[in-house]
């Protein structure tokens, strides 16, 4: 019999994970607790025969309880989930800035807890998830979490929980940086004289194509960059701007630090 996975919250991140799990056949018996799923998510759950509950009191005890609510809601939501947790349940959080200690508090010090920082490309099976487990989680349970997250992309594990804030700044929030790059690139194309529809097409195809190339290539990102940069050519002219003062080498560390700092702040709210 498949392990029972109960997902609490099918919003942006929870919904992305659920869609990926259903399409990727993660191998769990999945139920969802969400009082107001979107029409599209409700239809997807119905199409896949996923049990849907409006409140936690109606849901079954979970082998794996995945809590995908906003960090600011955790303190209010977790105490409502005690009926879903047994001594063997693994409580899994995908929220930024919520510590293992905070996650375990409503259920007891011996609670099995895994923090996961996924990202939204999980929706298309290209997610990046970083996991941290406390000492109560067995090797077999960690392996099950690995299977669960591998169904929606790549997985890495860390031994130091404090690294989760930096992980959040790089990969958790990272897709938004890439989306903004595509947005800004399209706007730059319009400013250079292109039709807006064509500029959008070029930006989307360029960002997604470069992403696929970096995923498939064994070369480093630096080598790939150098391979398309002819001496004194057009790409070099552009990179002198992007890599110069105020460019990517300055901006991205500041952006990642801002996200990591905010993750730390969330743990105190």
Please indicate, yes or no, whether residues 157 and 179 belong to a single structural domain of this protein. Answer: no
Query: 219 and 155 in one domain?
Result: no
Q: Which domain holds residue 142?
A: 4-171
- Any alpha helices (H) in 93-242, and if so which ranges? 100-104, 139-150, 164-167, 174-191, 196-216, 221-227, 234-242
139 and 179 both lie in a single domain: no
128 & 200 share domain: no
The verdict on 231 and 251 lying in the same domain is: yes
Q: Which two tokens stand for residue 52?
A: 């849907």
Q: Please tell me whether residues 231 and 213 are part of one structural domain.
A: yes
Residues 72 and 195 in one domain: no
Q: Cα separation of 139 and 252, whole Å?
A: 36
Q: What is the CATH number of the domain that holds 221?
A: 1.10.3730.10
Same domain? For 71 and 111 the reply is yes
Boundary residue ending a domain (149, 171, 193): 171
CATH code at 62? 3.40.50.720
Residues 89 and 96: beta-carbon distance below 8 Å:
no
- Edge-to-edge strand list for the sheet holding 112-117: 51-53, 29-33, 4-8, 64-67, 90-93, 112-117, 127-133, 153-157
Together in a domain, 124 and 191: no
Q: Domain total for the chain?
A: 2
Do 37 and 116 belong to one domain? yes
Same domain, 231 and 99: no
Predicted model pTM: 0.91
CA–CA separation, 165 and 263 (whole Å): 6
Q: Walk along the chain (269 residues) and give the pLDDT tens digit of each residue.
A: 789 999 999 998 999 899 888 876 668 899 999 999 999 999 999 999 999 999 999 999 999 999 999 999 999 999 999 999 999 999 999 999 999 999 999 999 999 999 999 999 988 889 999 999 999 999 999 999 999 999 899 999 999 999 999 999 999 999 999 999 999 999 999 999 999 999 999 999 999 999 999 999 999 999 999 999 999 999 999 999 999 999 999 999 999 999 999 999 987 77
């Amino acid at each position: 019999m498949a392990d029972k996975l109960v997902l609490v919250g099918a919003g942006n991140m929870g919904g992305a994970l659920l869609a990926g799990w259903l399409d990727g056949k993660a191998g769990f018996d999945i139920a969802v607790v969400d009082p107001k799923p979107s029409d599209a998510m409700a239809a997807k759950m119905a199409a896949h025969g996923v049990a849907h509950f409006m409140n936690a009191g109606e849901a079954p005890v979970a082998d794996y309880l995945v809590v995908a609510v906003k960090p600011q809601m955790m303190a209010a939501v977790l105490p409502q989930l005690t009926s879903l947790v047994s001594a063997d349940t693994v409580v899994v959080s995908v929220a930024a800035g919520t510590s293992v200690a905070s996650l375990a508090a409503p259920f007891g010090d011996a609670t099995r807890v895994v923090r996961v920082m996924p990202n939204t490309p999980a929706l298309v099976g290209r997610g990046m998830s970083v996991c941290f487990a406390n000492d109560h989680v067995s090797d077999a349970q960690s392996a099950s979490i690995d299977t669960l997250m591998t169904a929606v992309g790549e997985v890495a594990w860390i031994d130091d929980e404090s690294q989760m804030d930096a992980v959040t700044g790089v990969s958790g929030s990272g897709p938004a940086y890439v989306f903004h790059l595509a947005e800004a690139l399209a706007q730059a194309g319009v400013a250079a004289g292109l039709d807006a529809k064509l500029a959008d097409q070029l930006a989307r195809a360029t960002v997604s194509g470069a992403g696929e190339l970096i995923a498939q290539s064994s070369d480093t990102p630096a080598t790939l960059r150098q391979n398309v940069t002819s001496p004194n050519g057009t790409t070099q002219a552009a990179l002198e701007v992007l890599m110069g003062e105020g460019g990517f080498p300055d901006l991205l560390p500041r952006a990642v630090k801002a996200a990591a700092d905010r993750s730390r702040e969330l743990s105190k709210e």
